[in-house]
Amino acid sequence: MKLRDSASLRLVLGLLLAYLCSAALVFFFLDYQLASTLTAGLDHSLSEERNLLQLQYRDYGTEGLYRAIRSEIESEGSQAHGFRIIDARSKTTYQAGGLSLPLVAQFAGVRQIEVESGDGRRQRARVISFPLGDGVSGFVASSMEPVLGLIDQFRRTFIMTAGVVSLFGLMLGLLMVRRFRGRIEAFNRHTNLIVQSGDLSGRMPVVGNDELSVLAANMNAMLGRIEKLVQGIHQVSDNIAHDLRTPLTRLSADIQVALGQEDASLCRSTLERVSVDLEKMLAIFNSLLAISRAESGGIPIKRAVTDFSLLLDELSELYMPSAEEHGLSLQADVAPGLRVYGNRQLLAQALSNLLDNALKYVPSGGMVRLTALSRDHRIEVAVEDSGPGIPDDMRDKVFERFTRVDPSRTIAGSGLGLSLARAFIELHHGRLRVTRSVLGGSAFQIDLPEVSEADH
């Protein structure tokens, strides 16, 4: 990216422009204020001199007037002043000071007039004219050079300061732009690397805890999530390819057999087997779909406050006959009044999967126990059995799709029941894990947030 396209550089230049505009505004305002204040000061001292000269003329006549002018020149200096007295016929009767005034008629107030200094230079001066009586008029001029000098000095100082400040600001801004661009470029480098290599384990550099670091941390969290999802997709597609290959090959072989069958009844029985296999595959696909929807939070489920104790009691009653059929004793110890906020059907499905497994994997003569109690606003449910249990190293893996513990290979199953149960429980902000049970087999433990009377 070219420097002139940089958003941060444009920001710095924009700020500099805004600064220069406001500095110009302040400059014009101060310049105007300074000029008018200094000129007003000059005019004020001119009118004080006029008052003094008028008083002297009235009290002491011409002599008093000239004396007063001389003493003014003595105290104020002659260079910046000029005095002219004219008689009734506009003839100059007295002139003093370093500024020579042009011959003008008397006027009211103070005017700005060009005068000539002793060295012949023309310069601007404020001039006051006033009547003295008997047709005599006086003119007093005060040079504007000191005022103009001050204004000039102010202008130079202001422009120099603003220039230095702008230059310093620009340098600081450019330095910040360089640092900012460096960090953004590091982000770009990392994202390009991830895009090009396809390696989602790469992460953005997080330095400090400013906005950019927060952004980097969020991007890393997003990358982590994407990495997990992609891993999940890979795993699922691998599993599907692996686990559905055998049944599909079998189906294909069965169909070939059916097609070659002369005997209608043999053909029918082969097709019936095909139909059963297809049903199973359909069930697997449905479970897979339900798991991924639940894991991605993509199913809009209807939730309500559910009497969880009642649900567990109903399930234990439902499973009692088949437990007896399998030669197992099923015990239920459920605390009354447990309530959850969720979908009754999905919760029942998750628990049914656990009970189904217990009935499936615990050998005849064994025992299955369903317990539920409330602790610290959470409901703790356990489905325990005296069966073969789950080896320690398989306790996490067993919840992954298509995972089956080796000895169970002889028992029919898809390896999806526990994944589905965990996805449904997590959809209810709960947890499902497996440990060893005191009964000798496995203990599947669920904990779910409990709904108290006050909540709903």
Tokens of 12: 């710095």
Buried b or exposed e, range 350-371, using 16+ CB within 10 angstroms: bbebbbebbbebbeeebbbbbb
Which residue spans within 69-135 are E strands per DSSP?
A: 81-86, 92-97, 99-100, 110-117, 122-133
Q: How far is the CB of 294 from ligand ADP (least distance, A)?
A: 14
The interface with ligand ADP within residues 233-252 (CB under 6 A) comprises none
The interface with ligand ADP within residues 384-423 (CB under 6 A) comprises 385, 387-390, 398, 403-405, 408, 413-419
Tokens of 261: 């069958």
Q: How far is the CB of 353 from ligand ADP (least distance, A)?
A: 6
358 scored as a contact of ligand ADP (CB under 6 A): yes
Instruction: Select the residue interacting with ligand ADP from 442, 443, 450, 451 (CB under 6 A).
Output: 442
3-state secondary structure 280-332: HHHHHHHHHHHHHHHHHCCCCCCCEEEEHHHHHHHHHHHHHHHHHHCCCEEEE
Instruction: Select the residue interacting with ligand ADP from 357, 370, 382, 386 (CB under 6 A).
Output: 357
Return the range that interacts with ligand ADP (CB under 6 A); candidates 55-63, 233-241, 319-327, 351-359: 351-359
Rounded Cα–Cα distance for residues 191 and 199 (Å): 10
Judged by CB under 6 A, how many residues of this single chain contact ligand ADP? 23
Rounded Cα–Cα distance for residues 456 and 447 (Å): 20
Residue 351's SS3 state is helix
Phi-psi region at 271: left, alpha or beta (left = phi > 0; alpha = psi -120 to 50) = alpha
Q: How far is the CB of 414 from ligand ADP (least distance, A)?
A: 5
Q: What is the CA radius of gyration of the chain?
A: 51
Between residues 3 and 289, which has the closer beta carbon with respect to ligand ADP?
289
Q: How far is the CB of 407 from ligand ADP (least distance, A)?
A: 7
Q: How far is the CB of 412 from ligand ADP (least distance, A)?
A: 8
Those residues whose C-beta lies under 8 Å from the C-beta of residue 266, and which sit 6 or more positions away, are none
Between residues 173 and 415, which has the closer beta carbon with respect to ligand ADP?
415
361 scored as a contact of ligand ADP (CB under 6 A): yes
Residue 231's SS3 state is helix
319 scored as a contact of ligand ADP (CB under 6 A): no
Between residues 272 and 396, which has the closer beta carbon with respect to ligand ADP?
396
Interface mask toward ligand ADP for 79-108; x: CB under 6 A: ------------------------------
270 scored as a contact of ligand ADP (CB under 6 A): no
DSSP codes joined into one string, 404-419: --GGGGGS---S-HHH
Q: How far is the CB of 403 from ligand ADP (least distance, A)?
A: 6
Between residues 194 and 398, which has the closer beta carbon with respect to ligand ADP?
398
**Given the rule CB under 6 A, which residues bind ligand ADP?**
353, 357-358, 361, 385, 387-390, 398, 403-405, 408, 413-419, 441-442
